Amino acid sequence: MENFFAKMKEYLRMDTEISFTEFNDYYQQVMDYLKANYEKMEKEDNIKAKFILMILASNSAARAQRKGPEMKKYRKINEKTKFWADAINYRLIQSGMSQSEIDQALDEINKEI
């Protein structure tokens, strides 16, 4: 998860928007990682994954509003990233964190960037 988090931080510092191909590749890699490792992820990785998924969901939602050939693909990405973000949020709550603690952890990550 650390590699994905580092890459997301790099993306967030960019002044230009990445292409659909790069966006989709990153998204697919994150999804593949989650599918393979979700059950054994620790709390810190879950927080980072939720942060990454929130950024992906937000960006895909914004891009899905634009007319173009990738509009539907962005919409699908948005749906899947929201699903995973909700699943991770649920898991964090089940592990004993409150929603305010989760939100605070995400805010702290956001401040670092």
Q: pLDDT tens across 63-99, in order?
A: 999 999 999 999 999 999 999 999 999 999 999 999 9
pTM of the shown model = 0.94
Give, in degrees to the nearest 5, the angle at Cα 102 between 112 and 13: 25
Please report the pLDDT score of residue 112 as a whole number: 85
| Phi-psi region at 68: left, alpha or beta (left = phi > 0; alpha = psi -120 to 50) | left
Strands (E), the chain: none
Structure tokens at 107: 């805010």
Contact assessment for residue 31 and residue 84, using Cβ atoms and an 8 Å cutoff = yes
Could you identify the residue written with the tokens 């990785």?
Answer: 45
Q: pLDDT tens across 6-27, in order?
A: 999 999 999 999 999 999 999 9
